[in-house]
Structure 1
């Protein structure tokens, strides 16, 4: 996922780079697709391959969070 993010957002080889908000929307859409594909009735993938990191919003209240966050990086 990190390699794809690098290519999509910062690589000089990609002529159509995106900013942080667009990347976040694309990542959310991919996450939804992979979550659907991993449901027991679908069985397209054994589990969602996008890594998640744990976070706590309140004491002992786990929140699922994506490990990548949108960061502004405008390249002229």
Structure 2
């Protein structure tokens, strides 16, 4: 599902871009597409968690406890 974003956007943007090319010409379609991309930057920034919610990584624990190891 996460990887299908590029395929779905390519499928949806192709007819919309063709319609924009017919209606506004290549310059208007380019301006429209660039404005959509520019508006996606703040939307993507809202998906990132704020820095104060990120925790420091925990220290790794050994897989076995010393008292559980066999004597050699």
TM-score tier after normalising by the smaller chain length: 0.3 to 0.5
Structure with the bigger RCO (C-alpha within 8 Å, sep 6+) is: 1
Q: Which has the higher helix share?
A: 2
**TM-score normalised by L of structure 1:** 0.41
| Structure with bigger gyration radius | 2
**TM-score normalised by L of structure 2:** 0.43
